[in-house]
Amino acid sequence: MKYLHTMLRVGDLEKSIGFYTEFMGMELLRKMDFPDGKFTLAFLGYGHEKDNTVLELTHNWETSSYNLGTAYGHIAIGVEDVYATCEEIRAKGGSVVREPGPMMHGSTVLAFVEDPDGYKIELLSVDH
């Protein structure tokens, strides 16, 4: 088995693609329109789908927003410097919703940012 992707439904596909490419450093890998179904899929990630788990953004053409519910938690992305990454995201106009610092009851440095649809992305300090 292999973990392939996580799918998020988004209200404004171009705005979401912009967030994940410009703010999170992902690459748009492919984008496909399905006119008969009135939806578009966009796949983004940090490398080719053959070798990496990716993010699938689904835009249903007649839906501009979604209720995120209470079950969704977050996507986690490892970064070298959580503090610097938050500053870069903030400088580009992004929303840092939990300032960088050690996690509660632990020492791992983390922060949370929010995408245009309100999905939370956890930034975790990772050693390379």
Catalogue the active-site residues: 122
Query: Which is it for the CA torsion 17, 22, 25, 27, positive or negative?
Result: positive
Torsion angle, alpha carbons of 85, 78, 10, 113, to 10: -40
Q: Which residue, chain included where needed, has tokens 């496909």?
A: 32
Query: Which strand (E) or helix (H) includes residue 88?
Result: helix 82-91
